[in-house]
Amino acid sequence: MALKDLSQGIKISISRSITTSFESYMKNINWDEDKFNLQSFVGEWREYINNHASWYSQVGDEIKADPAFHGELAEKINEVINKILSDKPTQAQMDEITTLQEELGEEYDYSCKLEAKYVLEKLKSELKKKQNN
**Euclidean distance between CA atoms 55 and 42, whole angstroms:** 17
Residue 117 and residue 92 in contact, taking contact as beta carbons nearer than 8 Å: no
For residue 77, count other CB atoms closer than 10 A to its CB: 20
Query: What's the count of helices (H) and strands (E) in the chain, helices before strands?
Result: 7, 0
pTM comes to 0.90
Q: Which pLDDT does position 14 carry in this prediction? A: 96
Tens of pLDDT along the chain (133 residues) come to 688 889 999 999 999 999 999 999 999 999 999 999 999 999 999 999 999 999 999 999 999 999 999 999 999 999 999 999 999 999 999 999 999 999 999 999 999 999 999 999 999 999 999 898 7
User: What is the pLDDT, as a whole number, of residue 31?
Assistant: 97
| Whether 72 contacts 2, CB under 8 Å | yes
Contacts of 104 (CB under 8 A, 6+ apart): 123, 126, 127, 130
What's the pLDDT at 133? 77
